A and B are shown apart, each in its own frame.
Chain A
Amino acid sequence: MHLPRSPLAALALFVLLAAGLAGCGLGAGERDTNARVLVTRDFGTRELGARIVQDAPSSETVLRLLERNFDVETRYGGGFVQSIEGVSGGREDGDPVDWFFFVNGVESEVGAGEVDVHEGDRVWWDHRNWGASGHVPAVVGSYPEPFAHGAEGKRYPLVLECADDVEQACDTVSERLGTLGAIPARRALGTGVGDRTLRVVVGTWGDLREDQTLELIDRGPAQSGVYARFGEAGRLLELLGDDGKPMRALGAGAGLVAATRFEDGAPTWTVTGTDAAGVEAAARALTERRLQRRYAVALDGPRAIGLPVVR
């Protein structure tokens, strides 16, 4: 075998080898990715557009998918989305507003230009007031994601943790997840799992409040991204507005379906309530129709209320 003698030729050979190893190639890649894009404003209360994309190239990023389907303006070298369909970031009524995106209900840690789109992904862009919470780590509005396709093209390992006194609600949740092809491993509350495992925790808030991840909800939306918190030892559910202030309170029979995340781990979903009836109502709300385009959902009996409560 002849090795190149000149340093330039050696460098060129090295670059070619590195490129081959890094999965480089010409063209946009195979067109075999199906995905959905949803564009809303004000925490999903107003839909600006939705597209089902078929046969997107494998090199597709979240930003390209958006640019291909909507009128987009970017800033800072194309890495920051400033405006979609003429709705711009900035300030509205003195509050800061901007565009945020979730892939399969999980907020991205990196820019839209660096997130690949995988088969079955649901990308949700929302223009919202971030005065009360600049960081909403996970939302329920992309259901059945992240249970159906997970993240980065891989399903999460799934664990269902249930309190003792909510067997019926736990069965309901297990059945709903089973229809998605996600068979959860059932465990008792407080069983330790890895941080890459998607957890669904079912129980009254009084039983769940000690959970390391779920206790973020009691600290408010700035910590958890959930615009609701429990009071009176879990017997009262306060619904917060988009400014983070309490708008109304629910008592007995109130339920909550919400998702949050501890640091950069997998999301943790909670199906909870002020009592067993509330938990049961929340478990029954685990449907695409009830959860779609919502950050979190509060249940006042059979009635679902999207959170935050937008003024």
Chain B
Amino acid sequence: MIRRGWRNPRDVWRRATLRGCVVLGPPPSAAVPRNSAAIAASLRPRGRVGADPPIRQTRARVAPAPPPRRSASPLHAARAAVGCALCAALALPALLLDQPLLLAAVAAAAVLMGVAAGAGRQLLRALAFALPFALLIALLNPFVTQTGVTVIARLGELPLVGRTDVTLEALVYGAVLGLRALALILCCALYAAVVDADEVLRLFRRVSFRSALTAALATRMVPVLQRDGRRMADAQRCRPGPPPSRIALVSAVAAGALDRAVDVAAALEVRGYASARRPPRGARAPWSRHDRAFAVAALALLALGIGARLAGAASFGAYPDLHGDWGAETWALAAAIVLLPLAPFLDRRGIEPRGAAAQHAAWGHR
């Protein structure tokens, strides 16, 4: 069975040999992840093995980052365009509305969707990163704005900022801004966890091939640079004497990144990417039930967000004094924001059990 997001390895091997490349090792017999970096790493020009220093150097130094882990869930089974649309539609109410209850609903929906898609740990990691960030925004806001009529602390004249009165309204609005940042970060984390980046780039391949390639390379290079940084930091710690500064480490990694960029550019040029043309339109795959279910959920979220904004429902304002709509309508909207994107997860027909999916994932990574 060829699952979505996977490609017949023999087909990859056949195409590579037809394009004048030699593939290291025997023809594969098992499925490999459909991942541009993994495929690119397995391709080398025919007859030039070991004779082309830039390419060999690139292969030796640019170790591809592991492809995103794919769980067995209805959201993973949906096409990337639908996954993107769902994440964007979930983030939209957080951008359009100020009501804290709805912002909390968006954040909760993102976490619950991540858990339902088997990416709960990634979402919780993002939450751990975003919480201090949100807290910082909440605490900073009262110091940059003096608006609001309920003074809760008078800090007198502070250097640079002048007269500073902390108002309850500025504090609450800071919390709302922090909550909004939290919700948006979680939506982005959900996107990163459940949507195949390669598939998204394939969507844009016909629009701008080079941009898609650049984005693919950039996303793959970031983990490589992180790894470089860690290794250099380890090496630094092994040296006698006082430890060198972090700036030295950053400049070394930055210089390495430029070095790698030159190598990759040379490798791409040799492989003829400069003369690439717009790829042909592929056959359109029919929409699955998961595609349809999540697309409907995305459209419903979109309508909910825009409709609430236009109708002025679930209003909230912090200045000059706190006022907002906390009635049944607001609670119903919040419930809808949480439940709508979760509903398609109930249909698990055609989705492998979690144990089998984990086995597949481990096997695919090997």
Contacts and interface: CB of A to CB of B under 8 A. Distances in A.
A72 B320 contact: yes
Given A67-B320, A114-B162, A78 B146 contact: yes
B162 A74 contact: no
B198 interface: no
A57 B145 CA distance: 19
A52 interface: no
A29 B163 contact: no
How big is the A interface, by class? 20 to 34
How big is the B interface, by class? 20 to 34
Interface string B167-193: 000000000000000000000000000
Nearest to B147: A78
B155 A19 contact: yes
A1 interface: no
Nearest to A23: B156
Contacts of A28: 150-152, 154
A309 B321 CA distance: 38
A118 B33 CA distance: 73
B157 A74 contact: no
B252 interface: no
A64 interface: yes
A310 B148 CA distance: 35
Given A26-B154, A114-B163, 14 more contacts: A19-B155, A19-B156, A22-B155, A24-B153, A28-B151, A59-B151, A61-B165, A63-B147, A64-B149, A67-B319, A68-B149, A72-B320, A74-B319, A114-B162
B155 A68 contact: no
A29 B146 contact: no
Contacts of B81: none
Contacts of A72: 320
A27 B153 contact: yes
A37 to B, nearest CB: 13
Interface in B202-232: none
B144 interface: yes
B149 A67 contact: yes
A59 B157 CA distance: 13
A212 to B, nearest CB: 33
A78 B145 contact: yes
B147 A22 contact: no
30 contacts: A19-B156, A22-B156, A23-B154, A23-B156, A24-B154, A24-B155, A24-B156, A25-B153, A26-B154, A27-B154, A28-B152, A28-B154, A29-B154, A57-B151, A59-B154, A61-B146, A63-B147, A64-B149, A67-B147, A67-B149, A67-B319, A67-B320, A67-B321, A68-B321, A72-B320, A77-B144, A77-B145, A78-B147, A79-B146, A114-B162
Interface of B: 144-157, 162-163, 165, 319-321
Interface of A: 19, 22-29, 57, 59, 61, 63-64, 67-68, 72, 74, 77-79, 113-114
A78 B148 CA distance: 9
A75 B320 CA distance: 12
Nearest to A70: B320
Given A68-B149, A114-B162, A25 B154 contact: yes
A193 B202 CA distance: 81
Identify the interface centre among B146, B154, B156: most chain A CB within 10 Å of its CB. Answer: B154
Contacts of B319: 67, 74, 78
Given A59-B165, A67-B320, A114-B162, A74 B147 contact: yes
